[in-house]
C-alpha cells in the first residue's frame, strides 16, 4: 500500500463502510483538534467512542470516555489514533487483540508509523496515515466546498439537512483531481482547524 498518497476510492470505501469509530486520544476540551473531529463525525452519523484514560468519568458530546479499546466491550470498525507517532504501535497492538478486530487503523494528521501500518495490514486491516477523517469527509462530500474552499469534488445537488441543521453529504461525488494534491489538502486542513493536529492522550 502506498501511504504517500491515497486514492479517493480507498478513502471513500473506508468512510462509507465504517459505522463505529473509537478515537484514541480524544479530549473533552473544546479547543482541542480531537474535540472538533469527534463532534463533526458524531454529527454525521458515526457511532463515536472516546478513548482516553485521563478522562474516564467524563463524556464527549454525550459519549462516555473509556480507558482503553479493550474496555469498549462491543465491535468497532475503525480506530482513529489521535496520538503522536511514538504511541501508535501500542494502540495498533491493542486493536489487533480485539475480538473481532477492528477493520481500519487511521492515524491523524502528523502521525505516522510505517512498522505499525505494516503490522496492521499483515493482519488484514486497512490503514490510513497522516490524514484527518473530518477533512477527508468534508473534501469527498463537497461539504468543504459549501464554505468556500475548493474540495476538488463536483456535484449539482445540495444535501438534505439532518439533525440540528447538520448536512449529511454523499461521499460518492466525483473527484476531478484525486486525493494526492497537497495544496488542496492543506486548504482543507486550514478550513477545518488552524491548530495542532494530534492530541497526546493525556488529561488537559
Residues 14-68: pLDDT tens digits? 999 999 999 999 999 999 999 999 999 999 999 999 999 999 999 999 999 999 9
CA separation (Å) from 168 to 40, 42, 84, 158?
11, 11, 30, 10
39: domain CATH number is: 3.40.50.720
Q: Using CA atoms, how far apart are residues 81 and 83, in angstroms rounded to an integer? A: 6
In a domain, residue 3? The reply is no
Q: How many CB atoms lie within 10 A of CB 68?
A: 14
What is the grid cell recorded at 120? 496492521
- Domain count across the chain: 1
> Distance from CA of residue 57 to its chain's centroid?
23
Q: Could you read off the pLDDT of 99-155 as tens digits, one per residue? A: 999 999 999 999 999 999 999 999 999 999 999 999 999 989 877 654 444 444 444
Does residue 2 fall inside a structural domain?
Answer: no
* Beta bridge mates, 48: 21
| 168 within some domain | yes
Within a domain: 201:
no
Which is nearest to 137 in space by CA: 19, 3, 15? 15
Domain extent, residue 56, equals 8-192
Map residue 27 onto helix, strand or coil: coil
pTM: 0.75
The answer to whether position 87 is within a domain reads yes
Please choose, from the candidates 82, 86, 104, the residue with its C-alpha nearest in 3D space to the C-alpha of residue 28: 82
On whether residue 204 sits in a domain, the answer given is no
- Rounded Cα gap, residues 117 and 146, in angstroms: 34
Amino acid at each position: 500500500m502506498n501511504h504517500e498518497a491515497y486514492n479517493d476510492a480507498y478513502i471513500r470505501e473506508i468512510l462509507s463502510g465504517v459505522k463505529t469509530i473509537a478515537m484514541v486520544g480524544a479530549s473533552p476540551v473544546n479547543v482541542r483538534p480531537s474535540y472538533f473531529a469527534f463532534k463533526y463525525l458524531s454529527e454525521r452519523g458515526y457511532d463515536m467512542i472516546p478513548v482516553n484514560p485521563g478522562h474516564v468519568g467524563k463524556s464527549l458530546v454525550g459519549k462516555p470516555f473509556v480507558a482503553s479499546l479493550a474496555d469498549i466491550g462491543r465491535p468497532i470498525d475503525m480506530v482513529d489514533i489521535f496520538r503522536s507517532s511514538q504511541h501508535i504501535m501500542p494502540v495498533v497492538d491493542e486493536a489487533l487483540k480485539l475480538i473481532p478486530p477492528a477493520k481500519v487503523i487511521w492515524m491523524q494528521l502528523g502521525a505516522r508509523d510505517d512498522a505499525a501500518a505494516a503490522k496492521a495490514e499483515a493482519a488484514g486491516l486497512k490503514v490510513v496515515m497522516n490524514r484527518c477523517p473530518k477533512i477527508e469527509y468534508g473534501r469527498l462530500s463537497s461539504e468543504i466546498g459549501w464554505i468556500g474552499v475548493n474540495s476538488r469534488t463536483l456535484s449539482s445537488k445540495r444535501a438534505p439537512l439532518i439533525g440540528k441543521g447538520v448536512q449529511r453529504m454523499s461521499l460518492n461525488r466525483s473527484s476531478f483531481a484525486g486525493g494526492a494534491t497537497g495544496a488542496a489538502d492543506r486548504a482543507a486542513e486550514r478550513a477545518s482547524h488552524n491548530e495542532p493536529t494530534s492530541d497526546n492522550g493525556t488529561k488537559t
